[in-house]
Structure 1
């Protein structure tokens, strides 16, 4: 047969196959695989870029380099050569005053362009992005504490500046406690006239960079290699203190969602190809009887599959772009600056993925079709499905795993997903052979149709193994995705709970403890006050650190600076004791509690003796326990906490934190009037920005979860419809033998209810295993058990497959076949 004749025959058969359920199911599977893969890839790219940009709004740039000295001009030249935009910021703490009040403020001297990402929101709105010369913009809390309003004048050093706007929100607040003080923005041209910067002044110099992601990453790597000890580097892609963990989890959730979507579509392609190939055995035998060779039949079906893939991929790409536009309009308000455009080159991901899955999974069934003997036209047993040999199955698994690995960019995740899928189907098939026959015999005694159900279970036992395995994996994937997203949301919310402190008070003197505690108690604020002393580590087990630590450990920042030290009789309630035990309240020993991560980094263990230097004096303490500290809790936390009596004779100050509600905004002004020597640090604006970012992550992950669950439900519906299509002739025969249409429908519904219940029970077991692996390996979440799924999943499986069976009976043309 010539090539032109083969192609004409392929086109003719493709048109006729469109009337068959098996071919339509395969095209739908390819369509869903293309649509889901393209859509999730584009949306994931769009959200990741958008959330990175949202994170950049907090930083004010893509990259921020801070130093105690002016940034060298050579770095700015290098940034310009790489096409990066930059802006210099000078920040320092100083007193601002009016005729009646004085206040310690953090001053930011800026010049255009500033900020490089985001914008400063002011009231009233301003026509310029930074203050004009001779003017200043002040945060609302600074105005409240000075008792002035917009339009009045303040004194900064030797200059007087007019307040022209109140700052509602602003990116780039800087780092350290200086960033939390009430802030004042001035034009850098006014800085020299203030004369507040003198030799010896503690000044922070910060340079912001922005530009394309790859250039920023390259420049970040370059700066990282040349950092001096006093320099700090922050990147929106790697080093955001709060956002980095949340962004990493969100990225992991996107990858996991894409992986589950691939597995769902791969399962449906496998099932559809199996059904389609079984339906083509007689046609293949007929073609061979007409003179076609097995090689030509294989070519015929390969071309047919490629044509079907091309049609499904084209429609799938269009559908994914339309779906992206629809979700984009929904997500657009979630990010203040809107969603960026995705990389549309990633649109090809879906078609290529569905093609790779089709070829990896489909070549072996097509090979079997081409080898059906001609005797199949006369003997039905020659048309039976020949099981795949184990080498062939391993090749298919390897190819499928390779496709997933290329899509995810992770061999580990692809290998884990492939192995888990195979194990799930094998376990479900084993449970099917063990559980379904006894269940059928039990129903045979109680229901009129039970005997027929028991016979069908026995008749379909081989197919039920595959079917039940796929149903179980579908439920497991959907439930695992739902649980992981729920736990991820809870983890994000736990980073900033509702009662997160938004005020810090430092420089509390010992004689102010009692009146300050009374003032806070009378104001309805419950808080703890912690003593604080600055000290430096000088020895470990009697040896200098450089003799007992390796080079990487010596680079730890805790050894290069003074640490905040404290002492407590009781363990802090917001710290978790990891190892060792807390000391008795009346202990006279020099004991110390060390933060867990610092102990791990320095190789410290229980019983080690650490020597400190405070104010020229040295003393030692023995490690009694280690603690897990959540640094993002906005509560006073310390690397080192001593037993009482070790530090009490040294001069100390105290620190505390608490939360002020919107109704208590005037309390901070009253506090500073009563205790003018205190330093009150308001972190509410930073918390609001971080909370906003977390809300965006939650909303985005919920949307992706919903779309994936909808796709999973469609796949379940198609799976049931496919199976019911095989029951049509059997049910018509039952009706000829005396059964009514209602009875055969009840038989199908009873069968699928039993299958759904069994698959749900097994899915509960596997869900616990998979969510445990996801939590531990992918999302870095604690391991939890979910007892409720042991009841919910069997009921959900029964309800889901029963509803799918009812819907399929209504719309599949089943009644018309019965009546015929």
Structure 2
């Protein structure tokens, strides 16, 4: 037969197959696979770029380099050569004044263009993004504490500035404690006239860069290889200073959701192909009797699959783009600047993914169809297909893993997904042979058609193993995704709880402890005051660090600067002990508690001795325990906490943090009025920005979760509908033999209820395994067991498949077949 004749025959058979449920189910599977893969790729990329852009708007740029020296000309020239835009900022702490008030402020001297990402929001709005020469913009806290308003004048050094706007929010607040002081923004051209910068002044120089993702990554790598100890580098793509953990978790969740979506696509196509091929054996035998050779039959069915894929690809791409437009219109408020334009090149991801899965999964069933002997027209036993050999199965698994790896860009995740899928299906099949027969015999005693149920379970045991494996894998994927998203949201929410402190007070002198504590108590504020001393690590176990640590450990920033040291008789409530125990109240030894991550980075263990230098004096202490510190808790935290008596003879100051509500904003001014030597640091703006970002991450992850769950429910419905199609003729025969319509429906529902119950029980076990792997590998969350799912999943599986069976009965034409 010529190729043109094969194509015409394939078109004709494809049209006639549209009347069969199996072919329609396969087309639906391809359509869902194309739509889901394409839509998740487009939306995931769009959300990830949008969230990165939101993080960049908090940083004020894509890349930020801080230094104690101005940026050299050759570095700026290199940035220009790389096609980057840049801006230089000078930031320092100094006193600003009015006729009656003095206030320690953080001055930000900026130049255009600024900021490179995000925008400065002012009241009233300003035509430019930086103050004009001779003018200044001040944060609300600065205006409140000085008791002035917009339009008045302040003094900075030898210059006076008119406040033309109040800063409501702004990116690029800088780093360190100076970044949290009330800020004043001036034009860099006015800086020299103030004469506040003198030799020996502590000045922070910051250079912001913006450009494409690849440009920023290349320039980041170039700068990172030449960093000095005084320089710090942040990139929105790698080491973001703001909400970096949340962004990494969000990216991991998006990748995980895409992985689960692809596994659902593979299940849809595999299940539909298996059913379609099983009803094509007789047609294949007939085609051979008419003179077609096995190779031509294989080509015919490949052409039919390609035609079906082409139809699904066209409709699926349109559906994915329509869904993207719909979600884009719904999510315009998700990010302040809206979602970025989608990368339409990813539109091809869906069709290519579904085609690859179709060919990899479908070639083997088609090969079996082409090898059905002509005797299959006369003898039904000749129509049974031969099981795949282990080498063939291994090749399919390897190819499927390769497709997923290309889609995700991660070989390890693809291997883990394939191995878990195979293990799930095999384990579920084994358990099916153990759980279903006893459950069927138990129901047989109380149900009129109970013997038929046990017979059906025995007759379908081979197919039930496949069914149960797929059901179990489906429930495992959906429950794991739901649990992971719930734990991720909880992690984000606890990262910034409702009562997060938004005020820090430092430089508290010992004689101010009692009156300050009384002032805070009278104001209804409960807080703890922590002693603080600056000290540097000098020896580890009596040896200089360079003799006991490797080069990577010596690069740790804790060895290059003075650390904040403290002491306490009791363990901080907001720190978790990870090794050792807290010292008793009457301890006489020099003991120390070390932050866990620092101990791991420097290879420190319990019993090691650390030596410190404070004010030119040396002392040593023994590591007694380690603590897990959540640095984003906005509470006073320390790398080193000593036992009482070690540091009490050294000059110390105190630090505390607390929360002021919107109704208590005037309290900060009263506090500084009564205690003018204190430094009050307001971090409320940073918390507001981080909270907004976290809320948007939660909304994005919830959207992706909902879409993937919908695809899973479609798979359940398709699975049940296919199975009921196989029961239609059997149930019609039972009706002829005297069974009622209700009894046959009850027989089907009981069968699927048992399948759902068994698959849910096994999915509960596997969900704990999968969520543990997800938490460890992707989301960096603690491992948690979920005993509740052992009750919820079996009941959910039973209810889900029962409802799907009822819905399929109503619309499948089942009653009409019985009445005929």
TM-score (norm: length of structure 1): 0.99
The Cα shift of 1:449 comes to 2.1
* Aligned position for 2:278: 278
Which of 436-445 and 545-554 deviates more? 545-554
C-alpha distance in 1 between matches for 2:268 and 2:217: 40
The Cα shift of 1:338 comes to 0.8
* Aligned position for 2:257: 257
Given that 2:139 and 2:182 are in contact with CA atoms closer than 8 Å, whether structure 1 keeps it comes out as yes
C-alpha distance in 2 between matches for 1:78 and 1:400: 44
Residues 276-308 of structure 1: CA deviation (Å, up to 9, x unaligned): 111000000000001110010001111111111
* Aligned position for 2:187: 187
Given that 2:432 and 2:465 are in contact with CA atoms closer than 8 Å, whether structure 1 keeps it comes out as yes
The Cα shift of 1:87 comes to 0.7
C-alpha distance in 1 between matches for 2:472 and 2:131: 63
C-alpha distance in 1 between matches for 2:563 and 2:399: 54
Q: Secondary structure at the match of 1:197?
A: coil
The Cα shift of 1:320 comes to 0.6
* Aligned position for 1:500: 500
* Aligned position for 2:754: 754
Residues 630-656 of structure 1: CA deviation (Å, up to 9, x unaligned): 111111111111111111111110001
Given that 1:144 and 1:669 are in contact with CA atoms closer than 8 Å, whether structure 2 keeps it comes out as yes
C-alpha distance in 1 between matches for 2:581 and 2:14: 74
* Aligned position for 1:692: 692
Q: Secondary structure at the match of 2:604?
A: coil
Q: Secondary structure at the match of 1:163?
A: strand
C-alpha distance in 2 between matches for 1:547 and 1:743: 82
* Aligned position for 2:737: 737
Q: How many residues align?
A: 820
C-alpha distance in 1 between matches for 2:464 and 2:521: 68
Given that 2:6 and 2:300 are in contact with CA atoms closer than 8 Å, whether structure 1 keeps it comes out as yes
* Aligned position for 1:357: 357
What residue ranges of structure 1 are gaps of 5+ in the alignment? none
Given that 2:55 and 2:242 are in contact with CA atoms closer than 8 Å, whether structure 1 keeps it comes out as no
Q: Secondary structure at the match of 2:535?
A: strand
Matches within 5 A, 1:622-771: 622-771=622-771
Which of 480-489 and 751-760 deviates more? 751-760
Matches within 5 A, 1:473-552: 473-552=473-552
Q: Secondary structure at the match of 2:87?
A: strand
Matches within 5 A, 1:315-354: 315-354=315-354
The Cα shift of 1:386 comes to 2.2
* Aligned position for 1:240: 240
Residues 391-439 of structure 1: CA deviation (Å, up to 9, x unaligned): 2222211111111111111111111111111111111111111111111
C-alpha distance in 1 between matches for 2:741 and 2:730: 12
C-alpha distance in 2 between matches for 1:616 and 1:750: 81
C-alpha distance in 2 between matches for 1:752 and 1:507: 70
Given that 1:242 and 1:632 are in contact with CA atoms closer than 8 Å, whether structure 2 keeps it comes out as no
The Cα shift of 1:240 comes to 1.2
Q: Does 1:197 align with 2:197?
A: yes
Q: Secondary structure at the match of 1:332?
A: coil
* Aligned position for 2:405: 405
Given that 2:65 and 2:207 are in contact with CA atoms closer than 8 Å, whether structure 1 keeps it comes out as yes
* Aligned position for 2:584: 584
Q: Secondary structure at the match of 1:160?
A: strand
Given that 1:594 and 1:641 are in contact with CA atoms closer than 8 Å, whether structure 2 keeps it comes out as yes
TM-score (norm: length of structure 2): 0.99
C-alpha distance in 2 between matches for 1:767 and 1:547: 47
* Aligned position for 1:3: 3
Q: Secondary structure at the match of 1:528?
A: coil
C-alpha distance in 2 between matches for 1:46 and 1:245: 20
C-alpha distance in 2 between matches for 1:662 and 1:146: 18
Residues 641-683 of structure 1: CA deviation (Å, up to 9, x unaligned): 1111111111110001111111111111111111110000000
* Aligned position for 1:291: 291
RMSD of aligned C-alpha atoms?
1.0
C-alpha distance in 2 between matches for 1:454 and 1:620: 76
C-alpha distance in 1 between matches for 2:518 and 2:164: 38
The Cα shift of 1:385 comes to 2.7
* Aligned position for 1:40: 40
Given that 1:237 and 1:244 are in contact with CA atoms closer than 8 Å, whether structure 2 keeps it comes out as no
* Aligned position for 2:619: 619
* Aligned position for 2:802: 802
* Aligned position for 1:380: 380
The Cα shift of 1:166 comes to 0.7
Given that 1:484 and 1:774 are in contact with CA atoms closer than 8 Å, whether structure 2 keeps it comes out as yes
C-alpha distance in 1 between matches for 2:156 and 2:242: 33
C-alpha distance in 2 between matches for 1:566 and 1:332: 47
What residue ranges of structure 2 are gaps of 5+ in the alignment? none
Could you list the structure 1 runs, at least 4 aligned residues long, displaced by more than 6 angstroms after superposition.
Answer: none
* Aligned position for 2:120: 120
Q: Secondary structure at the match of 2:657?
A: strand
The Cα shift of 1:27 comes to 0.8
Q: Secondary structure at the match of 2:641?
A: strand
Going from structure 1 to structure 2, the CA distance change for 1:242 and 1:205 (only over 3 Å counts) comes to: closer
The Cα shift of 1:448 comes to 1.4
C-alpha distance in 2 between matches for 1:393 and 1:563: 59
The Cα shift of 1:716 comes to 0.6
Given that 1:440 and 1:454 are in contact with CA atoms closer than 8 Å, whether structure 2 keeps it comes out as yes
C-alpha distance in 2 between matches for 1:527 and 1:263: 51
* Aligned position for 1:609: 609
C-alpha distance in 1 between matches for 2:629 and 2:139: 31
Given that 2:58 and 2:242 are in contact with CA atoms closer than 8 Å, whether structure 1 keeps it comes out as no
The Cα shift of 1:243 comes to 2.3
The Cα shift of 1:155 comes to 0.8
The Cα shift of 1:241 comes to 2.5
Given that 2:33 and 2:268 are in contact with CA atoms closer than 8 Å, whether structure 1 keeps it comes out as no
* Aligned position for 1:89: 89
C-alpha distance in 2 between matches for 1:602 and 1:117: 37
C-alpha distance in 1 between matches for 2:684 and 2:203: 24
